[in-house]
Chain A
Amino acid sequence: MTIRNVRDHGQRYRPRMACLKKVENVVLEMQDPKTGVKSQTQRLVITTIPHAITGEDIVAWIANRFKIDAMEARAMGTMMVAFGYIYPLQDHKRLILKPDTSLYRFQTPYFWPAQQWPVEDTDYAIYLAKRNIRKKGMLELYEQEQYNNLYKWMNHKWDFIVMQAKEQYRAGKERKKPDRVVFDCQERAYWVVHRPPPGTVSAMDYGHDRMVDPNLKENKTPDYYRRIIMFTQQCIMRPRVKSSVSIGALVKCTTTYKEHDPFLNACLPSNPWLTDDVTYWNLNMPNVETPTKMRVERWTFSFGELLMDPRGRADFRLFLKKEFSGENLAFWEGCEDLKWGAAETMKEKAQQIYKTFLARGAPRWINIDGKTMDITVKGLAHPHRYVLDAAQTHIYMLMKKDSYGRYLKSPVFKETQRKAIAPEPHRFSDAQLEQNAKRRRPSLSPIILRQQEEEQKAKLAASGPVDITQLCRFTAPVPHLAVYTGICEAQSTASPGLMTLPNSAACPSPISVAIDSTPASERRFDGNGGPSSSHFPSIAEASVSEEENQPPAPKSRMALSLSRLLRRGCNAPSVFASLSPKCGVASGGGKVQPLGVEPLAQPQPRRIANFFQIKVDIPPECRIYPIDSEDEEDDSPDTARGGVKEIICPWETVTKQDGAG
């Protein structure tokens, strides 16, 4: 870290002090003998005070001068007093303007607040020392404290300070009495402004300085005008929505959410801040089994709301599974993963998405129009975070316009609605409220919460029926949740025992499974062979690899021969089309080796996905994803060569170009 000047940090322009110049002009006007504030000579005790003005006169003058009402004039006057341009003669510590006959006087320009520099501590020390000399014990408590602090801090200069104080005191004594009184008042007022007593707030305390001088007027060069012209032209060209439409939409948004605003409507069962009862938060955890009615209602407000709520998205996913159109949501989630995930895995993720969703004959092909597909594919030659934006938007709109509407009318949603909880409002007595307050516990640390969530996900993944269409790295609950909740160390915590992805209750016969193949069954059959592919590679690859580094156990003989047999895979497009879940999809990224990609940190979960692929006699060119590197372990080199690179990403320079998008 470079050492920077602590004192002014390169900033010189005191922000709200930009008004000081303007205030000075006004004060000068006020002091004009003809048109300014009426001044009078007052007698206070034995001294006469020249040029004193009353508060009410000040207020009246300001109100008249600026044509504003009395209240605003009073506020403005108070501001002037707070800055120190006018000081009160009585009650000198309270820097406000009293609109009555209290007396004020104009401060001498010598003591006006300067915009360029803050007030020096040395001067303050001299002032306090001077007062100390004049009369011991004259300093107030806070002043004494300050004085002691300054003494400690400026000890090296103390002789100089004392000498200066003595000089000034002596010089002061030589003045005439009225002058001395006036000067003392002025000086005292100055320091009340700049070193306020504790508990009061100073107008000088504005925070930090600004970097750009607020008083600076930009030079009107041709360039300046050119910029303005360009900008205004762009402004004009931009389409404008009629106010009635857009304001109407704003009003509608507010009224729609009115019931859901805890400040406007009581929330059920009770607001934890009011009753110290955290049931509300427990009922509304992100992935709770049964959502509350209010939460379900929010899903109906907009498609965005549904997707943003993890429970809502899960419900939607369930619905899509029944409709066999889960690939849209999976693709959308994949794009989100790409957008927000780590940079190092981006290229590979993009290619994975391409192979899974976009390539011709891809296992989970999504339906986007030709133009968007063109743009996307071109963009994928140089993948970056937003390369799939166009396609993602298209799919989002598709889901929004089509699936969302149907979802809201579907039995899945109706069932969820029916089961949703509508908790009874709590009715705590005072005694109970006190008890609640006593029983307040710190909430679970988010680390623990995250672990719990992951365990739950893992359990869900292991037990419940899972739509095989959803089995893809992008929709397995653990990885995607990790994406949206941040750094995915999650992968490694999914228990290794979970190799068996669901949907594989029994161990079906190879062929029947192949018709309806799922990686789970393959994996189950595979037993302990190889690391589980349920550890989908995701953002933090490195952290995952530890899990996967178990060397693959030697495959059973049967498995090996079967794999060899079925190696060529049911990859004919027609076959794939009929099989909605595509086996290889779910197997982690290690399976398909796009050209030019470095091998993943984790050893590839080999020979798992293609286990049950039916051998079909198809020419190699038509082979598409995911013929994969399991072939490597085979003896026959030619098969290996033929097997690996099937889905050709069009941006990769390979001889075989067909079969690819």
Chain B
Amino acid sequence: MGEMEQMKKEAEALKTQIEAARKAACDTDMASAASGVAPAPRVQLKTRRTLKGHLAKIYAMHWSTDNKLMVSASQDGKLLIWDSHSGNKVNAVPLKSSWVMTCAYAPSGNLVASGGLDNMCTVYNLKTPVIKTVKELDAHTGYLSCARFLSDTEILTSSGDTTCALWDLETGKQKTVFLNHVGDCMCLALSPDMNSFVSGACDSLAKLWDIRDGQCKQTFQGHTSDINAISFYPSGNAIITGSDDCTCKMYDLRADQEVIGYQDAALNSGVTSLALSVSGRLVFAGYDDFNCNIWDSLKGEKVGVLSGHDNRVSCTGVPVDGMCVCTGSWDSFLKIWN
């Protein structure tokens, strides 16, 4: 036991050391740094489109890089590809397993992926006249919570078995497995330079990983419950996380600490999803209380609300050109706001 006591002491000492190091680096906070910035105007967005077509809870949606198409996944067993501006459904992909939890659109627009309680990530090719399954990536031992394409040949997935994985789509095998979380991984986000990604898990930690060497580079603490949503700031130097503890937090990657939190005493429901506007100024966070709140990322204030859904907002997304925001909900509708 003496050894364990010793190690415990050492761990404690190191913890204090790193706290001190972080404090030393922390010579200012967001409030003062952003004091010169004018407050964001009150943002009042209206529903511009309501996309009806799903028959059950919508669990995920993802915009295509062409800013008009998007894919949404619902537990009625379908992936629907929408031309959001006209409201048309371009494609419907029937899923083998209806317990879908995530969907992703490849940057090229050629492929979409879905995954869920079947523990697999299925990739479909949209370019063939009849949509075909390209690959079924089956190696996770837990449900698939999130998937993101790097290109047409690589895809990142996060899973309930506490791992994330980088897959080679040509061989269908895992190239790298990212092991470090101790709770179900719930979400992941790719950095703008595509060299790293962050994942959030049920152990209330967010971790930054290097895609090439598979190592966890940084860990961010602060949340007290599952992290359900995570996103990179446009510059790639900060991340924003949303959690079941009803708060969102921004962490600075270079200073290695939490910068600002977005919370409100009146908000008592967990955050399910997050999306940022093009400049990073506005954070759209979807909550369990059927609303999506808009936060000013620099000031930490709420500047707007998107109400209109009849059930929990399960997914949020802003397209690349930032022209609108889309929310998907368990009430089976997708709404586009501007």
A interface residues with partner B (beta carbon < 8 Å): 1, 4, 9-11, 15-16, 69, 71-72, 75, 79, 199, 201, 208, 210-212, 214, 218, 220-222, 225-226, 228-229, 231-233, 235-236, 238, 240-251, 253-258, 260-264, 267, 271-274, 278, 280-281, 284, 304, 340-344, 386, 389, 440-443, 445-447, 449, 484-487
CB < 8 Å: which of B43, B88, B96 contacts A263?
B43
Contact A440 B136 (CB under 8 A): no
Q: Mark interface residues in B101-127 (1 if CB within 8 Å of A CB, else 0).
A: 100001111110000011110000001
Shortest Cβ distance from residue B148 to the other chain A in the assembled complex, whole angstroms: 14
Bound complex: CA A199 to CA B331 (Å): 10
Of the listed residues B96, B168, B235, the one surrounded by the most CB atoms of chain A closer than 10 A to its CB is B235
CA distance A81 to B67 in the complex (A): 44
Partner of B118, one of A1, A71, A229, A249: A1
**Residues in chain A near residue B92, CB distance under 8 A:** none
Contact assessment for A236 and B21 in the assembled complex, using a CB-CB cutoff below 8 Å: yes
Instruction: Specify the chain A residue showing the minimal Cβ separation from B46.
Output: A274
- CB neighbours (8 Å) of A226 from chain B are 7
The contact of A254 among B96, B192, B298, by CB within 8 Å, is B298
A232-B18, A443-B86 given as contacts; is B25 within 8 A of A240 (CB)? Answer: yes
Chain B count of residues within 8 A CB distance of the other chain: 116
Chain A residue at minimum C-beta to C-beta distance from B272: A207
The answer for the CA separation of A341 and B153 in the assembled complex, in Å, is 7
What chain B residues lie within 8 Å of A263 (beta carbons)? Answer: 43, 45, 277-278, 281-282, 322, 325, 338
Would B184 and A212 count as touching, CB distance under 8 A?
Answer: yes
Report whether B254 and A232 are in contact in the complex, using a CB–CB cutoff of 8 Å: no
Specify which chain B residues have a CB less than 8 angstroms from the CB of A221 in the assembled complex: 4
- Closest beta carbon of chain A to B41's beta carbon, Å: 7
Distance of A250 Cα from B118 Cα, bound (Å): 40
Q: Is the CB of B279 within 8 A of A236?
A: no
Are B280 and A211 closer than 8 Å at their CB atoms?
A: no
Q: Which residue of A lies closest to B49 (CB)?
A: A273
- In the assembled complex, the CB of A648 is this many whole angstroms from the nearest CB of chain B, namely 29
- Asked whether B237 lies within 8 Å of A264 as measured between CB atoms, the reply is no
Chain B residue at smallest Cβ distance from A212: B183
A264 touches B277 (CB 8 A): yes
How far in angstroms is the closest Cβ of chain A from B151?
4
In order of increasing CB-CB distance, the 10 nearest A-B pairs are: A486-B108, A257-B279, A225-B7, A261-B279, A241-B254, A232-B14, A253-B235, A340-B151, A273-B338, A442-B86
B83 at interface, CB cutoff 8 A: yes
From B33, B87, B118, give the contact of A244 (CB < 8 A). Answer: B33
Would A201 and B281 count as touching, CB distance under 8 A?
no
Known contacts A236-B17, A247-B29, A264-B277, A1 near B136 by CB under 8 Å: yes
Tell me the minimal C-beta distance from A643 to chain B in angstroms: 35
User: Is there contact, CB below 8 Å, between B160 and A273?
Assistant: no
**Min C-beta distance of B28 to chain A, whole Å:** 4
CA distance A218 to B88 in the complex (A): 50
> Are B142 and A211 neighbours in the complex by a CB distance under 8 Å?
yes
11 A-B residue pairs with CB within 8 Å: A214-B202, A220-B8, A231-B219, A240-B256, A245-B254, A254-B298, A260-B322, A262-B322, A263-B325, A443-B66, A487-B152
- Cα distance A262–B324 when bound, in Å? 8
